[in-house]
A and B are shown apart, each in its own frame.
Chain A
Amino acid sequence: MNQSIFHLSLCNFKARLRRTLLNILLITTATTGLMTIAGFGLFTYVSLEQRSARETGHLVLSNPLQFAKPENRLMEHGLENLDAVKKELFKNSDVLHALPVINFQGLIANDNKSVTFLGRGIDPKEITVRGPFINLIKGSSINYKYNSQDDPEVMLGKGLAKNLSVKIGDYLTLLSNTVDDSLNGFDVKVVGISETGIPEIDNRTLFTHYQTAQDLLSTDKVNQVAIYLKELSFLQRAGKKITSAFQDLKVTYWDELAVFYQGVKNLYNTIFYFVGSITFVIIFFAVFNLISTSIWERTREFGVLASLGFAPKEIMLSLLLESTLIGLISMVFATIIYGGVSVALLFSNIMMAPPPGQTTGYPLQVIFSGEIILYIALITFFIVQLSTFLASTKINKLSITQSLMHL
C-alpha cells in the first residue's frame, strides 16, 4: 500500500477533528444503543430461561407415564425408592441437587373458611434454588430437617394467605385424599408467605416438606425428582448420562415442560427482531447520511488528489482506512459505555413494570456479553464501511474536472 494513503487518512482524521468527533459520537451512540438493547434482550431471555428451569428443575426424572397418562389413583405413576434414585443421580458430577416433588391438592381451612389449594411437597432446598424467582415476603422457609414429631409446616402463597386472613404462626387444617382414597387431615403451622408474582399461582399454592405431603397422602412415593445441575450449560451432557443410567424412567428436559417460557420467548423474539430491524435501518440511514455528507463535502479535495495522481481506488482506500479508525475508536467507546451502563444498572435497582399476567416487576439489567460486543461491533463496522464505500463510489464516478468544480 502506498504510504501516502495511510498518511492522508491520518491527516484527515486529525485535521477535521470536529467532524471526526461528530462521526465518533454518532457511531458510538448507535453502537452503544444496539449493545444495550441486545444486552437487555439477553438478560430477558436468560432470566426467563432461569425462571422456567428453576421452577421445574433442569431435568425432571419421573415414571414414564407421569406426563403421558392421567392417574386413576393418586400417586399411581409415582416414583419409588427415592434414596436409591438420589444415590444414583449423585454419581453424576454435573448434578448439584436432586429434589423430590409431590403435587397434591385438597382443602385448607381455618375456623372461618376453607378453600382449595394446590400443594407442592418439596425439599426446602428448592426455595433456595429458585432464588429470586420465589420471594419470601413474610416469615421463613420450611424447616430443612423433617421431624414427624414436630408440627408440620407450610408456606402459603400471598393470595392464599390473604384469602384465609392468616399470619405467621397461625395453625390451619390441611385436608386431602390419601392414595387409598380415604380422607386425611393435618394441622399445619404457617411459617412463611411467598410470592411468585403470578397471581394464579399465589392465590392457590402452598409449599410443604415432601415428607409431610407423603404422610398426608399415606405414600412413600414422589411424583418426580427435579434435578438441578451445576451449570445449565451441562444440560445435554447430563441429560444423556442420566437417561442411560435410568432406562426404566423418563428424563424430561426443562424446556419441554416450560410452555409459558416458549410462549413468552416467541413473543419476545418477534418484538426484539421487529425493534432490532427498525433500529438497524434507522442507524444505517443515520450513519450513511453522516458519512456521505462528510465525504461529499470533500469532493473538491478528492479532485485535487486525483490531479496529483491518486487513483480512485487509493482515494477510496484512504477513506475506508479513515472510517476504520473512526469505527474502531467508536467500538472501544461504545464497549466502555455499554459496560458502564451494565454495571450501573446492576446497582441502581431500577424495576421494570410487571410483565402481562404477573404482579411483580423485575430488575432492569443489561448483560455485558463478549458475543454481543463482537456481533454488534461487526454489524456497526459493516454499516460504517458500506456507507463509506457507497459514498466514495459515488464520488469516484465524477470526473476530476467535475470534482474540482464542486462547491
Chain B
Amino acid sequence: MTKHINQKNRLSPMLSFKNVRKTFAEMVVLKNIDFNLQGSEMVGLVGPSGSGKSTILNIAGCIDNVTAGEVTFNEQATEKMSKIEKNNLRRSDIGFIFQHFQLVESMSVRQNIELPLRLLNYSRKERKKLSQEIIDALGISAIADKLTTQISGGQKQRTAIARALVKKPKLIIADEPTASLDKENADAVFKLFKSFLETMQISLLMASHDQQALTQMHRVITLEKGEIISTT
C-alpha cells in the first residue's frame, strides 16, 4: 500500500474545512471541523451513525451548506459561490458514489456512465470512447446496454464508480461505497476503484465502515458526535 502524496499538491489543499459548524434546527450536527484534503489524497471518514460523516460529504460535494465556518475548494470559498457555480463545480470537478448507487433507472448502464460527459458537452465519439474504456476496465461490458434495474448490486456499484470516474474529476466523494456488497465483492471493487484513483490522480473523501478499505486511505478521520476526535 502506498501512502505517498505528490508534494506539489500538498502546498495548496484541494479541499479545506475551517472551523465548520452545521446545525439542523436546534441540533448541532458538526462543530469545529478542521481538515484539509490534498490533491490525489485519499481520506477516510469513520464514526458511528449520526456522527456527521454524511454531512461532511454533502458539504464537501456542495450539495449542503455550512452554518458557520468556511469550506474552500481549490482555494475558492464554496459558500460564496452561486448555485450555478456550484452546479458547474459538481459537473466538472466532483464525482459522487452513493451508498445506494443512485443510478438513473430510466437509463442503461452505458447511458448512466455517459451522463456526466453529456453534461460537459462531450462529442458522441468522445463519449463513446471514454465510456467504453471505463466499462472495459471495470468489467461491465456484458451488461453495458442493460437497464440498471436489470443488474446485480455489485454491477450497480461498478456502474456508479464508472459514472463517478469517467469525467476524471478532481475529487470523488463516496458514501459507504461498498456497504451494499458482500466482502469478496467489496474488496475486489474497492481494489479496482483505488487503482483508478491512483492512476488518474483523483482525490477521495470516503465515509466507510469497511476496515479493509479504510486501511488503504492516506488518512482516516474519526468523528464522534459531530467532532473530529482523531486523525490517523
Contact = CB atoms under 8 A, between A and B. Distances in A.
B104 A7 contact: no
Given A311-B84, A401-B58, A7 B64 contact: no
Nearest to B122: A3
Given A309-B87, A311-B83, A2 B119 contact: yes
A12 B119 contact: no
A11 B63 contact: no
A310 B119 contact: yes
Interface in B84-121: 84, 87-92, 96, 98, 102-107, 111, 115-116, 118-119, 121
B118 A4 contact: yes
B61 A15 contact: no
B61 A307 contact: yes
B116 A308 contact: yes
Contacts of B90: 306-309
Nearest to A302: B104
Given A304-B102, A304-B104, A400 B92 contact: no
B137 to A, nearest CB: 21
Interface string B40-58: 0000000000000000001
Contacts, number: 73
Give the size category of B's interface with A: 20 to 34
Contact of A399 (B61, B63, B92): B63
Chain A contact residues: over half helix, strand or loop, or mixed? helix
A404 interface: yes
A15 B92 CA distance: 27
A4 B119 contact: yes
B186 interface: no
Interface in A360-407: 399-401, 404
Contacts of B105: 15, 301
B108 to A, nearest CB: 8
A3 B64 contact: no
A343 B91 CA distance: 54
A5 to B, nearest CB: 9
A306 to B, nearest CB: 7
Interface in A2-25: 2-4, 7-8, 11-12, 14-16
A3 B123 CA distance: 10
Contacts of A11: 104, 106-107, 111
Contacts of A15: 105-107, 147
A108 to B, nearest CB: 80
A86 interface: no
A305 B104 contact: yes
Interface string B54-81: 0000100101100000000000000000
B48 to A, nearest CB: 19
Interface string B140-179: 0000000100000000000000010000000000000000
A300 interface: yes
Contacts of B92: 309
Nearest to B123: A3
A404 B97 CA distance: 12
B121 A3 contact: yes
Given A4-B115, A308-B119, A309-B91, A404 B83 contact: no
Given A307-B90, A309-B88, A401-B63, A301 B104 contact: yes
Contacts of A300: 102
Interface of A: 2-4, 7-8, 11-12, 14-16, 300-301, 303-312, 399-401, 404
Which A-B residue pairs are the 6 nearest by beta carbons? A309-B91, A15-B106, A4-B118, A400-B63, A309-B90, A304-B102
14 contacts: A2-B121, A11-B106, A15-B106, A16-B106, A304-B102, A305-B104, A306-B63, A307-B96, A308-B91, A308-B115, A309-B89, A309-B92, A309-B116, A400-B63
